[in-house]
Amino acid sequence: MTSSTALHWTPAAFYRSQGDRLLCTLCPRACRLRDGEIGFCQVRRRRGDTLETATFASAVKHLDAIERKPFYHYKPGSRVLTLAAPGCSFTCLYCQNYRLSQFGRHNEAQGAAAPVDPAEIVIEAHAHNAAIGLSYSEPSLAAELTLAIGVAGQAKGVDLLWKSNGYVTPEALASLLPWLSAVNIDLKAADERRHRALTGAPLQPVLDTIEACITAGIWVEISTPVIPKFNADEDSLHALAVRLRAFDRPIPWHLLRFTPDFRLRRAAPTPPATLVQAVRIARREGLAYVYVERACGPKQRNTPCPVCGHTLIRRAIWATETVDLVDGRCPNCKTAIPGRWQ
């Protein structure tokens, strides 16, 4: 295991005393820590009567197209300055970012990250007319950094975005939502057994987070890695579509092609035909905005009007090519298209 001495530790929030333990209230695992112990996430630890976090830091700093997060209905064509601290509350079998997310659990994972100055990051993002995104690892574990960037960013009109697994307590989420503009949350399975098999964690907290974000008025998009033998069969895809349909808002759904990695290196990649079938199932269940970033060509990346079929947004793999909306509506039939377009 990589030693925690490689990390930059700072005071944490989201904990309370519980007898001789400190209870971490950030994620539903609710770690109860004795002095010197590190939480399941490997990036929160007890030191004396306080908790510390190693996530007020970032191992990366990338200026990306917003479509790469992916966000398709949030300010298309804009850019996002992406940061990522080590650590994750999940142990996903297929994680492509395991060298960062699985710090402390895997000998290839590295914890090296540079401290982040929120004011400087906001100035840099503002200079590029970009949002700030927390991605690659689990952003909810960087709750303190989220709050600091959120305060600095809102003063300068810089949006803050998450690409998240959604595994955060309602208590912590209530403090974080006012500072977030948009979230893309992974919904990896529609039933408890498969979700635990893929992620090592229960499903319900993820569903609760999606609902809370919608209720709070945060823009929400959903991503699902379509993985053969886990969630790529017709019944599983149908169950996922039904889950999404149940939310009281049209939600863009990104179907991601699985590529073998981490503990599933010997598995087969997702056949394009399976992704096409997944889109067909979703549309049959009434989901209008379903996307496949790669493997199925530009048609599955574009946004057609759900009423008249006019192509509203044309996309390359990681970029928007054209936008044909008038005040968020189809120019042909005037149908309002859900999104945050400006």
- pTM over cut 0.85: yes
Separation of CA 178 from chain center = 17
- DSSP secondary structure of 185-202: EE---SSHHHHHHHHSS-
The residue among 306, 298, 300 whose CA lies nearest residue 335 is 306
The answer to whether 270 and 226 have CB atoms below 8 angstroms apart is yes
Question: Residue 338's CB: how many other CB atoms inside 10 A?
Answer: 14
Domain 57-323 superfamily per CATH: Aldolase class I (3.20.20.70)
CA distance 332 to 145: 44
**What pLDDT, on a 0 to 100 scale, did the predictor assign at position 3?**
37
**What pLDDT, on a 0 to 100 scale, did the predictor assign at position 101?**
87
**What pLDDT, on a 0 to 100 scale, did the predictor assign at position 1?**
26
**What pLDDT, on a 0 to 100 scale, did the predictor assign at position 324?**
98
218 SS3 class:
coil
**What pLDDT, on a 0 to 100 scale, did the predictor assign at position 2?**
33
Q: Parallel, antiparallel, or unpaired for β 114-115 and 21-24?
A: unpaired
pLDDT beneath 50, residues of the chain: 1-5
**What pLDDT, on a 0 to 100 scale, did the predictor assign at position 6?**
67
pLDDT digits (tens, 9 = 90+) for 191-211: 999 999 999 999 999 999 999
Q: What are the residue boundaries of the structural domains of the chain, listed by start?
A: 4-53, 57-323
